[in-house]
A and B are shown apart, each in its own frame.
Chain A
Amino acid sequence: MVKSIVSYSFIILGLLCMIIGMVGVFRFRRFFSRILITSTIESMGFLSILIGIVIYAGISFFALKTLLIMALFVLTNPLSTHSIGRSAYLSDMANKGDSND
């Protein structure tokens, strides 16, 4: 029972992070502010949801696979976000957009 409550709390925390990240992506005007949202808030939401699933599944093969997906996401999501930001910076994107954040 305690395990279910902890797992549901983590999943609801992840959903809140995803909703806040979506609001931020609509709210911010500059591109490099939006990269911050994707790199931190989305990772936080995804990892919280997967931690909730791991706690719900307990010690099993299912939880091991979920931990593998978590490790892969932690490795690859900052790399892809950095790649997008580097591409935008090298293409002279930094001077565009209005600065009223």
Chain B
Amino acid sequence: MNVFIVSIVIIAGLCIANIIRAVMGPTIWDRLLCLSMFSAKVLSIICLLAVVLDHSYYLDAALAFAVLAFIGNVYLSRYVIRRRKDG
């Protein structure tokens, strides 16, 4: 059981590094990429927490979060398309 808690702490540290990279990113596409990575890390934290607390219904929240992260990524990346100058 101890390995799960240690891995949750390590992934939380990686999330902080991911937020630093998102703030550093010069364009909006870097920030979108960091959002995609961040959602994968949050998903793995939720699944590990479900194992630690031994509650099966945390995984439903993880499922809903996966769908919402996918829709958010696709919608935002289609929203920020700028066409080229030469058509």
Contact = CB atoms under 8 A, between A and B. Distances in A.
Interface of A: 8, 11-12, 14-15, 18-19, 21-22, 25-26, 31, 34-35, 38, 42-43, 45-46, 49-50, 53, 56-57, 61-62, 65-66, 68-69, 72-73, 76-77, 79-81, 83-84, 86-88, 90-93, 96
Given A49-B44, A83-B78, A65 B59 contact: yes
10 closest Cβ pairs, A-B complex: A80-B73, A76-B70, A87-B77, A65-B59, A88-B29, A91-B82, A83-B77, A84-B77, A83-B74, A46-B40
B51 to A, nearest CB: 6
Contact of A66 (B33, B59, B70): B59
